[in-house]
Structure 1
């Protein structure tokens, strides 16, 4: 037995103290007071030694703790081998913690580099508007002064943004037009609210949409120009040809009754083509002129039933069923009833057209779910091809042979006028779901 171990010494002194106390008590009961006194003195000596051993153990553990705090890589000289294992375990733990810290620092460096190089501005605020953190893009877009510590220190151009950002709800988004460098710049901003260790924060993303909008605008103009050129050319070319033929007939010295009839027929054809062109221009003007919604509380189930009744004859013609699902049944919507009905009719007409081209059991479903905040028109028809999906909202583009190509574009404009979003989800050959998120 290694009696140098302080723990073994502590155990031996404790046993001796108990034995001396016990025998001292027995001796006193046997009428031997001097023996009892002597044994009690020995018990006290054993207790004193126990106290010293405890003090030595405490001092050595404090040496170990001091070494931990100081990061001492070597074992303290006062350590005996019964402390070596604790010190070695501590060194292994420190090495593992250091590896974890290095990995954490590498991840943090990666994130900092990533956030510093993206073009989306990120700024983290406290609820009182003080700036907790921001990346370089946020500093550039918000035109933050280097010493700025609060959103109120932003330039006056961001006044509307400053008022909105502190009051915005979680995941709320908004577009802003900001005067920068003597021009208007378009920005999209989104707010996220979160808490860390009980402290609330507001994370705000700021994205410059100017280049994207300019590219989209150029594409829209190109597509619109192609459509207008195509439609006008389709009308003007035959008109020019017909008028040329009429002029040749009119140059004849004498016109027969047959010539008069041919001229009348040609002029009637020219008139029809001109009326078609006027109708096209009128549709284009209606597409670009959207009235403000006159909102009222609308009973969604009643609206769906009226739409289904209007579509019933067309649905029966292709043997399609119309189903309605509204959750809850008394769901109401703050909307312009007439405009919303026009949207639903357009979407249902498109769905029935797709159903007519499929051989499976045809089903059209109108859905409204208040908890998930959406309306939907869904069919199990042919779906929309990937090529058509890319041009779906181009004005006057249609997959129907006799379609005008403005129904879906007009529907999206009405939905946007309500502040909602229209999304198309389709799988080619399986069906289409058009969803209105409100």
Structure 2
């Protein structure tokens, strides 16, 4: 504001000098000093000319700076004008906008680099009137689907009609499904399609993610193997490390010329410890074999209610000992095609899991229910125990993972393998101080 006032002040002073020059020149003409009068007018002419160029340069520089800001063009160099205090605020605005533009460009480059290095096909659409423009297409999408980086949705529709038809059928709304896409006349490939729509600064965007089923499965398998190797190496080291230490101690003892009674006692204790750790290691290996050598299920038609009643009868002594109320809501006859012995093992494992979860609960309760939907049978076992901590939710089905000192850590893993061998799945959720394990079995 102060700088603007100074600019106007300078212009006002120029006008005053010009008016004074004209008045003085007229005065010289009146007193017949013709030559002096013309000289005065010449000085006025120079002052007017200087003022014209001053205003013109100011307006041109102002217009050029504002145009650069509006067009995001920050390549201009105003260094020769920066010493003029009249332009301080203008150049400060320009430098601020230039700094923000450079920062935004840097962010865009980083974000695009990240998106281009992700092995997931990504396209982002931006709505323009009644059509969609392609705001961004990452390198993986372009190369994997052999699609050029087009700018219009209609061009992409010509390249990938099978994908675009699914999106258009849902009217560019949220989607989560599996799609089959043929690429370059190859065999059909299955992809996981996830799409979402969002509005940013009154602009409509539609984000599409495409992941190969094979990549998803490979990632899950890799994560599972990494977690499994962590557990196995942990268990092996827990047994091998003390055994090696004990062997080293025994070696030192036997190298002595004679053994005292205290040394013999040490030898005895060492051997007992080695046997105990060896037994633990043997059980661990047997548990692994049990998981790895699970036989194929021998399915037969049985009543679900009879299967549950039989499992409750087996577990009844433990239910009574722990004062647990078991509520079986399965009343109507439902036939399922399963291996009864393997499914008994699953329910016994889940009941055992619930018993341990209810140890610190006063009013202990286990609820069993089932329902049939869309040719699928859902069996739920719910307890009001401590629940599953958020930190271990994604680990409970890992082999040998357990939070109990006496647990082997294969119960839930074995249950999951059995259900998957039957063509179903098992899931869990904790809410309202209740934990539910749900088994889904598909009808054959």
Do both proteins adopt the same fold according to a TM-score greater than 0.5, normalized to the shorter chain? yes
Change in Cα spacing, 1:317 to 1:394, as seen in structure 2 (3 Å) is: same
CA distance in 1, matches of 2:393, 2:298: 31
> Residues 397 and 299 from structure 1, CA distance in 2 versus in 1: closer, same or farther, beyond 3 angstroms?
same
Query: What is the CA-CA distance between 1:365 and the residue it aligns to?
Result: 1.5
Q: What is the CA deviation profile of residues 398-431 of structure 1, one whole-angstrom value per residue up to 9, with x for unaligned ones?
A: 122321111111111111111111110112x711
Deviating beyond 4 angstroms after TM superposition, the runs of 4 or more aligned structure 1 residues are: 105-108, 112-121, 186-190
Q: Which residue of 2 aligns with 1:356?
A: 359
Partner of 2:223: 219
1:305 aligned onto 2:327? no
SS of 1:269's equivalent? helix
Rounded Cα–Cα distance in structure 2 between residues aligned with 1:220 and 1:332: 34
Give 1:334 deviation, angstroms.
0.5
User: In structure 2, how many angstroms separate the alpha carbons of the residues matched to 1:271 and 1:221?
Assistant: 30
Which of 247, 251, 266 matches 1:262?
266
Distance of 1:259 and 1:282 partners within structure 2: 34
CA spacing shift, 1:144–1:257, aligned 2, 3 Å = closer
Aligned residue in 2 for 1:345 = 348
The alpha-carbon distance between structure 1 residues 107 and 316, as it changes in their structure 2 partners (threshold 3 A), is farther
1:365 equivalent in structure 2: 367
1:318 paired to 2:319: no
Residues 422 and 437 of structure 1 are in contact (CA less than 8 Å); yes or no, is this contact kept in structure 2? yes
The answer (yes or no) to whether the contact 1:299–1:331 under 8 Å persists in 2 is yes
In structure 2, the CA distance between the partners of 1:141 and 1:287, relative to structure 1 (3 Å rule), is same
SS at structure 2 position matched to 1:135? helix
- Report the equivalent of 2:411: 407
Q: Deviations over 1:302-345 (max 9, x none)?
A: 11111111111111122111111225x21110111111110011
Check if 1:242 corresponds to 2:246: yes
Query: Structure 1 CA distance, aligned partners of 2:403 and 2:135?
Result: 44
When residues 279 and 137 of structure 1 are mapped into structure 2, their CA distance, relative to the original with a 3 A threshold, is: farther
Q: How many residues align?
A: 271
Match of 2:393, SS state, is helix
Residue 378 of structure 1, CA deviation: 0.8
1:218, distance to aligned residue in structure 2 (A): 2.9
Change (3 A) 1:108 1:285: farther
**Match of residue 162 from structure 2:** 134
SS of the residue aligned with 1:217? Answer: helix
Bigger drift between 240-249 and 212-221 goes to 212-221
Q: Gaps spanning 5+ residues in structure 2: where?
A: 1-126, 146-159, 167-178, 195-208
Is contact 1:423–1:434 with CA below 8 Å preserved after alignment?
yes
- TM, length-normalised to structure 2: 0.55
Q: TM-score, normalised by structure 1?
A: 0.55
Query: For residues 290 and 241 of structure 1, do their structure 2 counterparts lie closer, same or farther at Cα, with a shift above 3 Å needed?
Result: same
Structure 1 portions without partners, runs of 5+: 1-104, 122-131, 146-153, 159-177, 179-185, 191-204
User: Cα offset for 1:136?
Assistant: 6.9
Q: What RMSD in Å do the two structures reach over aligned CA positions?
A: 3.4
Match of 2:122? none
Match of 1:389 among 387, 393, 399: 393
Distance 2:301 2:308 in 1: 14
Following superposition, the deviation at residue 300 of structure 1 comes to 0.8
- Bigger radius of gyration: 1
TM superposition shift of 1:221: 2.5
CA distance in 2 between counterparts of 1:107 and 1:324 reads 58
Offset, 1:144: 4.3
Q: Contact 1:388/1:399 (CA < 8 Å) preserved in 2?
A: no
